[in-house]
A and B are shown apart, each in its own frame.
Chain A
Amino acid sequence: MKTIAIDRLPDLAQALSKAGYRVVAPVDEGGVVRLREWTKGLALALDAVPVNSVKDVLFPRSEVVARFALEESGGFTPAPLERSAPKTVVLCARPCDAAALSALDAVFNWDYRDGSYNARRAATTVVSLACFKADEHCFCTSVNGAPDGTAGADALLRPADGGKKLVFEALSDKGRQLEAMVSDGQAVPDAPAALKRRFDSAAVGRWLASNFESPFWKEAALACLGCGACAYACPVCHCFDLQDESDKKECRRLRNWDSCGFGLFTLHASGHNPRPDQSARWRQRVTHKFSIYPQKFKTFACTGCGRCARLCQAGMAIAETCERIEALGR
């Protein structure tokens, strides 16, 4: 059995760093826990779900996808593009973040394969930390997940001996490559966080597939401000915009995160907007996650991390919407 004392996690981070990995871990930044590049001396913050997710590592918020040198005459020449895919370990990812990876892999690889995503995915090892507690926004057990779920993870750290130690379980070849950095030991694993299932996601999907025009949507979306925070924090949301940014000498074609909650998202040049109001946009968000995605990719586009609800300034919660939908379907 491989074990590590929970207060020695920075030592593991340091060993990984020495072995040439970039280490990304949850760090407390003035009261906000964020997944970010770990550097020596930083403590790992394990008590709260980080505000951002592993998505940030694989699919950056803003990325140059094409580059052109601009000429004074008005012409241009394509410039080479450097692909950045540093060897990375995400240490103490949440199981709900790791579970999101299969959903991201699916969209970035159906038919057209996204090389920059795949390069980073191949270079990234995900070490999950099983959750020893859940908060009121967590609902992974409603979307086929679990506080100690292993889906998408290369290794799992399981709290043991009353939270004093962590048991390291390798789950893939990438995970096994880290085994040597953890000592042999003995510990008794703790029970993972208990989390009651809040809704039946399959039943929600069935209702969504045939209730596109339901009056439910008008009322369900009333509070939504259309700020897009939910999509930015979501470990699965991957919608993006492409925009050119240029100065006199160079144009960078950027892929930036976007959100189906924004009014401009689907606006046609003609002025027509297929989703003209917030209710149509909220319907798209919920339907995409619980009906369209499962139809296309055999997985929900939601892992129950609860980040969207934790951040929403208007009190919108997708789990609550799903509970109401399940009740409508009964």
Chain B
Amino acid sequence: MNDDLYKPFLMRIESARDEAPDVRTFRLKFADEGARAEFFGRYRVGQFGLYGVPGEGESTFCVASPPTRADYIECTFRKVGRVTQALQDLEVGQALTFRGPYGNHFPIDSWKGRDLLFIAGGIALPPMRSVIWNILDRRAEFGKVAVVYGARSVADLVYKQELAEWAARPDMTLVTTVDPGGQTPDWKGKVGFVPAVLKELSPAAKNCVAVLCGPPIMIKLTLPVLAGRGFAPQDIYTTLENRMKCGVGKCGRCNVGSVYVCKDGPVFTLDELSRLPAGDM
């Protein structure tokens, strides 16, 4: 492995699209075949990277596309600070820096034959979208697939085209919901908070893995619903985010207790999380 840890890949923006207010998706191509092959030789679903604009810095977020689509990577991110602002100012054809893939991954090979339930809130769909497409691209290896996705309002739902595609697929179930007051006159999905919608669905825990990602309040209120349905803590997965700079277990800021989110995570089971100090998150 290269010991020049901060040398980035050069990526070119092949296409871009707006997902929701301040939320944008880039499709990025590697500058050469060697870099592409190096990345996809290592990339497993759930890993993250650092996206940068020279002069502004780097910002950490997930790779939102699966390893089964190995021509490009996609990322979806909200404009919240200096670097994400600079990234969103870039135009198609321009370049950015990328380091990764870093961290652990979702152990999807160990999920073969099992049912999968994905529960996401708001901007937390992107880290799960890579897993969902990875599963759908290898559809025959898994049992039933269900996705429950909620956002504050219809405008805040990301990947609207893909949501329509998933809704139309006979081999999966998609339930979308918006918070009360967030619906539009022609909204066909549910109105209500994710935990309540999930409770109504009463998913079966038997042979099922749940993958959960969203704002802390959604996680907090969804976990009791899953527990009530009999989901075991080792069958509930999530992915954490913390402020990061290096991505490689050195800069010292992403730890939660003794765990480094950048190396021991970002993917954890609820069982693993329950052993970490909640006061450090």
Contact = CB atoms under 8 A, between A and B. Distances in A.
Contact of B251 (A68, A242, A275): A242
A292 B258 contact: yes
A76 B52 CA distance: 12
B262 to A, nearest CB: 10
Interface in A248-296: 251, 253, 255, 258, 260, 265-270, 274-275, 280, 284, 287-288, 291-292, 295-296
Interface stretch (A8-16, A103-111, A153-161, A162-170): A103-111
B263 interface: yes
B257 A240 contact: no
Interface string A221-255: 00000000000000000111111101000010101
A66 interface: yes
B238 interface: no
A270 B80 contact: yes
Interface stretch (A27-35, A50-58, A112-120): A112-120
A112 B103 CA distance: 11
A274 B256 contact: yes
Given A112-B1, A244-B57, A266-B243, A238 B256 contact: no
Interface in B58-84: 58-59, 80-81, 84
Contacts of A288: 252, 255
Contact of B54 (A238, A244, A275): A244
B95 A253 contact: no
Contacts of A110: 249, 263
Contacts of A78: 7-8, 10
Interface string B243-281: 101101111110111100001000000000000010111
A289 B116 CA distance: 41
B279 A244 contact: no
Nearest to A114: B5
B55 A244 contact: yes
B213 to A, nearest CB: 15
B97 to A, nearest CB: 8
Contact of A246 (B54, B245, B257): B54
Nearest to B251: A240
Given A115-B3, A267-B243, A291-B258, A275 B280 contact: yes
B231 to A, nearest CB: 26
Contact of B279 (A81, A212, A269): A212
A258 B251 contact: yes
Nearest to A275: B280
B10 A292 contact: no
Contact of B258 (A239, A258, A280, A295): A295
Given A268-B243, A274-B256, A112 B250 contact: yes
Nearest to A217: B279
Contacts of B252: 238-240, 258, 260, 288
B22 to A, nearest CB: 12
Contact of A75 (B56, B95, B277, B279): B95
Interface string A189-206: 000000000000000000
Chain A interface category by residue count: 35 or more
A274 B80 contact: no
Contact of A113 (B1, B95, B97, B241): B1
A70 interface: yes
A22 B250 CA distance: 28
A134 interface: no
B110 interface: no
B187 interface: no
Interface in B7-64: 7-8, 10, 52, 54-59
B242 A268 contact: yes
B150 to A, nearest CB: 18
A66 B6 contact: yes
A274 B5 contact: no
B94 interface: yes
B258 A115 contact: no
Given A112-B1, A112-B5, A212 B280 contact: yes
B88 to A, nearest CB: 13
A87 to B, nearest CB: 19
Contacts of B246: 240, 242
Residue in A68, A70, A275, A288 with the greatest tally of chain B CB atoms within 10 Å: A68
A255 B250 CA distance: 11
Contacts of B10: 78
Contacts of A268: 241-243
B165 interface: no
18 contacts: A68-B54, A108-B250, A110-B249, A110-B263, A112-B249, A115-B3, A212-B279, A238-B250, A240-B252, A241-B245, A255-B6, A258-B252, A258-B253, A265-B243, A267-B243, A269-B59, A291-B258, A295-B258
Given A238-B252, A240-B252, 18 more contacts: A66-B6, A68-B54, A68-B55, A75-B95, A107-B250, A110-B249, A113-B3, A212-B279, A240-B250, A260-B253, A266-B242, A266-B243, A268-B241, A269-B81, A269-B84, A274-B242, A288-B255, A296-B258
Interface of A: 65-66, 68, 70, 74-76, 78, 81, 107-108, 110-116, 118, 212-213, 238-244, 246, 251, 253, 255, 258, 260, 265-270, 274-275, 280, 284, 287-288, 291-292, 295-296
